[in-house]
């Protein structure tokens, strides 16, 4: 192998050529070590932006970034070869608390779910932020403790450490300031390099589209889903993706503590759960069980997941996981007393009575951020107690007695701004329109 010359790799991609696995590995190693300059990272990213990558190139980039840091080896931690280690990743949305219920549901059905989650980004909420609304919850246990929780309970949800895919952290920082964030091959490698560092046997993606999604355009979301499945399978991890609707808030809450409350009530009393939230959760659980080899059909797996809720087993495992990670003991019976939800509650009345026909879901997410329930500065702390409950959905009738939502906040000023935001975000008319199906498509590898 000759001398490493970063600009030659950039030239190859600029000219639409295929870059070899070895050259991609050397380039990523240079990102990690500092041998590759920011200007060279930027040039390579722009070349990929315009010329794309094959599935094989994407797999090489993903694996190189994965291997730039720690990678979980479950067999070295005492797990059997072929253990059903499976995870789910969502591209993010407003009110998306699915992971809180999904991990214990799959664990109750025999899966092993080592979920490495993130914080909120922009208008979207983060699973880690929701769990930190639970007093004492430790999102950063040692690797040995993480493995022990997965072994004994079946699931553990933790945060990303600094040793996880460090090449991606630097690469993303450059992309963020060079107008190359939207590159589908680079988004794919960024997502998968972090997810696959958990040593997964299989993965299910929840790729969202609509007004509250990272990629609101359906065609672009589908392209991303297809590319993730192709690249992950090429990298040796069986993967499938569900395209799910984010043209309205998922469930009836948006915030942190309020979403934990909805998740617990979903687990404890599934008969009263929001129908769209239930459909997405059960579908993701079923596909995780099938792709992990636990069940052979989605129909049987769906019923098994439903039974884990009805029996209370999933709720029990959620409580065990929270306790194992230092969170409030017996949270299922005392969550209303221990989860801190802002004391002031204001009903948000519609400007006119009628039927909800549309929603600017992103604006509702940003209204949570404006109350400090999300971050403007990535290093800032957040207020876990604020948010919205009883959020209307498309097709609901709203009037003075049936509000658009209830805002939970600390002051009249916060309430005024939140009320204006929600009233502007929700479209009310005299006609009733059927909402989009919550799951539009399943993409298999």
* Token pair of 163 as six digits: 């040793």
Domain ranges across the chain: 6-66, 86-334, 344-429
Q: What is the pLDDT of residue 1?
A: 60
> pLDDT at position 81, please?
85
pLDDT at 169: 87
In contact, 375 and 120? CB cutoff 8 Å:
yes
Question: pLDDT at position 315, please?
Answer: 98
Q: Tell me which of 88, 169, 208, 240 is the catalytic residue.
A: 88
User: Out of 175, 230, 240, 349, which one is annotated catalytic?
Assistant: 175
- Active-site position among 124, 190, 197, 385: 190
| Pair 126, 260: CB distance under 8 Å | no
| pLDDT at residue 378, rounded to an integer | 64
Quote the CA–CA distance of 301 and 287 in Å, as a whole number.
Answer: 8
> 111: which 2 tokens?
């899966």
- Among 198, 206, 97, 95, CA closest to 156: 198
d(CA 160, CA 317): 22
152 is catalytic: no
CB 244 within 8 A of CB 226: no
410: annotated active-site residue: no
Six-digit token string for 28? 């990523």
197 assigned to active site? no
Q: Annotated catalytic, 87?
A: yes
Sign of the alpha-carbon dihedral angle for 131, 101, 274, 358 = positive
Map residue 140 onto helix, strand or coil.
Answer: coil
The CATH number for 86-334, chosen from 3.20.20.450, 3.40.1350.10, 3.40.1030.10, 3.50.30.30, is 3.40.1030.10
Q: Residue 385 catalytic?
A: no
For residue 170, give both structure tokens: 């630097």
Q: What angle do CA 63, 67, 70 make, to 5 degrees?
A: 140
**13 is a catalytic site residue:** no
Confirm if 159 and 128 have CB atoms less than 8 A apart. Answer: yes
Predicted local confidence at residue 173, as pLDDT: 86
* pLDDT confidence of residue 161: 73
Cα dist. 312→57, 123, 298 in Å?
45, 33, 21
Predicted local confidence at residue 116, as pLDDT: 87
Stated pTM of the model: 0.93
- Concerning whether 311 is annotated as a catalytic residue, the answer is no
Q: Coil, strand or helix: which one is 394?
A: coil
The single residue of 13, 26, 89, 130 carrying the catalytic annotation is: 89
Q: 6-66 domain in CATH 3.20.20.70?
A: no
Examine the residue annotation and report whether 340 is marked as an active-site residue of this protein. no
Per-residue pLDDT tens digits for 32-44: 999 999 999 999 9
What residues in the chain have per-residue pLDDT under 50? none
Active site includes 175? yes
CA distance 239 to 202: 6
Task: Classify 344-429 by CATH class.
Answer: alpha beta
């Amino acid at each position: 192998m000759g001398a490493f010359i970063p600009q030659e790799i950039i030239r190859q991609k600029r000219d639409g050529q295929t870059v070899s696995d070895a050259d991609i590995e050397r380039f990523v190693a240079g990102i990690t070590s500092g041998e590759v300059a920011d200007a060279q990272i930027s040039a390579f990213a722009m070349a990929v932006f315009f010329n794309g990558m094959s599935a094989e190139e994407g797999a090489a980039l993903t694996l190189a970034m994965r291997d730039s840091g720690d990678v979980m080896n479950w067999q070295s931690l005492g797990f059997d070869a072929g253990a059903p280690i499976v995870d789910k990743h969502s591209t993010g949305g407003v009110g998306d608390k699915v992971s809180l219920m999904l991990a214990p549901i799959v664990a109750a059905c025999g899966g092993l779910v080592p979920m490495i989650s993130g914080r909120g980004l922009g208008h979207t909420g983060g699973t880690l932020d929701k769990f930190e609304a639970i007093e004492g919850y430790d999102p950063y246990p040692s690797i040995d403790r993480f493995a022990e929780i997965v072994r004994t309970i079946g699931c553990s949800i933790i945060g990303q450490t600094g040793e996880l895919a460090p090449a991606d952290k630097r690469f993303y920082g450059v992309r963020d300031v060079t107008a190359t964030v939207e590159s589908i091959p680079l988004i794919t490698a960024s997502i998968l390099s972090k997810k696959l560092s958990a040593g997964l046997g299989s993965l299910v993606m929840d790729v969202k589209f609509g007004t509250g999604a990272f990629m609101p355009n359906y065609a672009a979301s589908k392209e991303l889903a297809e590319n993730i499945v192709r690249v992950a399978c090429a990298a040796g991890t069986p993967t499938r993706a569900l395209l799910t609707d984010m043209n309205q808030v998922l469930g009836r809450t948006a915030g942190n503590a309020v979403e934990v409350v909805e998740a617990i009530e979903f687990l404890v009393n599934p008969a009263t759960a929001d129908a769209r939230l239930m459909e997405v959760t059960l579908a993701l659980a079923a596909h995780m069980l099938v792709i992990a080899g636990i069940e052979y059909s989605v129909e049987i797996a769906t019923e098994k997941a439903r039974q884990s809720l009805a029996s209370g087993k999933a709720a029990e495992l959620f409580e065990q996981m929270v306790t194992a990670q230092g969170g409030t003991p017996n949270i299922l019976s005392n969550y209303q007393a221990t989860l801190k939800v802002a004391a002031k509650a204001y009903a948000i009345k519609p400007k006119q009575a009628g039927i909800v026909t549309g929603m600017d879901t992103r604006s509702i997410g940003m209204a949570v951020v404006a109350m400090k329930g999300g971050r403007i500065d990535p290093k800032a702390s957040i207020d876990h107690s604020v948010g919205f409950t009883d959020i209307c959905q498309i097709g609901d009738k709203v009037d003075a007695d049936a509000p658009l939502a209830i805002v939970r906040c600390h002051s009249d000023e916060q309430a005024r701004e939140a009320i204006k935001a929600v009233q502007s975000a929700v479209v009310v008319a005299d006609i009733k329109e059927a909402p989009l199906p919550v799951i539009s498509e399943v993409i298999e590898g």
